[in-house]
Amino acid sequence: FLKYAKKGLYDNSIFHRSIPGFVLQGGGFSVPPVPADDELIELPKRIPSFKPIKNQPGNSNLRGTVAMAKVGGDPDSATNQWFINLEDNLPLDDNNGGFTAFGKVLGEGMEVVDQLASADVFPAGGPFGLFDQLPLWELSEGADGSAKIMPDDFLTVISAQELEDKNHPFVLGVESSDDSLVKATITKKQKIKLKTSSDTSGTAEITVEAISLIDGTVDVDS
């Protein structure tokens, strides 16, 4: 996923498959470069793909998780396509070798995803029915009355970027219940550093607090 993002292949990509209450899928196609012709609906272009990767299931496909899409009957066929789980899709944990969930929508981001998933779905066809569940903001009408898809009608990912360590969207805080046993600090690179005492024994509880820079939500774990 990061390799595609770093090379800009997900920039101006689209969500090409939407099943309300199930998944919203993208990563495989980009927006057509020009408006569709009045006589023909121009379909999205394929995004180049690298070789398939080995399946790595284990994380559950819960609402808000991001997972790799793959070919039916082939667990090790994931390339560029991925999907967001709109609900707790527990059957996907075992189906086709289990679907690899590798990320999660942060903060209140699912409000945006739910808005995307509310777009109307159209049976646009395409080879092997690739776009039979194509979400569009609208479907315009051409001069002759035929359907006409415009670039702005697609649900588009403008850009996909990997944040540097120093730009992670959260701030960490850490506290030790007993500094004489374990001293806990946060480095400038937002790493947790623990220093234990060499001449004292006992038990200390370490509490970590993460504050989202996206929406201000707080997560605490000990």
- What is the DSSP secondary structure assignment for residue 3, as one 8-state letter? H
Q: Tens-of-pLDDT digits for all 222 residues of the chain?
A: 999 999 999 999 999 999 999 999 999 999 987 655 554 556 788 999 999 999 999 999 999 999 999 999 999 999 999 999 999 999 999 999 999 999 999 878 899 999 999 999 998 877 777 899 999 998 876 666 667 788 889 999 999 988 776 667 788 899 999 999 999 999 887 789 999 988 888 999 999 998 877 667 788 998
* Residues 6 or more apart whose Cβ sits within 8 Å of residue 2: 162
Distance CA 6, CA 100 (A): 20
Its pTM surpasses 0.85: no
Cα-to-chain-centroid distance, residue 139:
26
Hey, what are 200's tokens?
């004292």
Distance CA 117, CA 131 (A): 15
Hey, what are 105's tokens?
């929508």
Distance CA 9, CA 3 (A): 9
